[in-house]
Amino acid sequence: MTTGAKAITWTSIIAVLALAGYIFFKFCFVYAEGVNEGDINYFQKEGYIFKTYEGKMIQTGLKNTKVQGSIQSNEFKFSVADERVAQKLFDSSNTGVKLHWKRYKGTLPWRGNSQFIVDSVYSAPKAQ
């Protein structure tokens, strides 16, 4: 094998490994986990080719930096990849829920439109 062929071989190996590492960290590596609690605003199954579950949760709060004393409403957009978790969310409409999610750097069409993928649903009692 000539020196030029060895250089091309090593460059190709390094490029393939770098691409594999990028794909892993962009689409498969969970870099954050958390829990959000609130009321489901909407939850639906959508998509042309890949049917995914997409939803939005409304989280209410009492702090607003713009107008003192007003109520602030935060939205949490999420996707669900597991059919059982999606069914729990459909059954939990009009109740407060607590969602456990994992965050990825990138989205995949068969996983959903959001970086936040919900993997567990817990019923949460409404605050009185």
With respect to residue 41, please indicate whether it lies within any of the assigned structural domains.
Answer: yes
How many CB atoms sit inside 10 A of residue 64's CB? Answer: 12
**Averaged confidence pLDDT in the chain:** 86
The pTM score is 0.78
Residue 74 domain-assigned (yes or no): yes
Residue 23 lies in a domain: no
For 50, the domain range is 30-123
Number of domains, the chain: 1
pLDDT at position 99 is 94
> Is residue 16 situated within a structural domain?
no
- Domain at 45, CATH number: 2.40.50.140
User: Does 3 have pLDDT greater than 60?
Assistant: yes
pLDDT at 71: 60
Compute CA distances 35 → 13, 17, 88, 119, whole Å: 40, 34, 16, 10
> What does the pLDDT look like over 36-85, one tens digit per residue?
999 888 899 999 999 999 999 988 765 555 666 556 668 899 999 999 99
Instruction: Please give the pLDDT value at position 101.
Output: 95
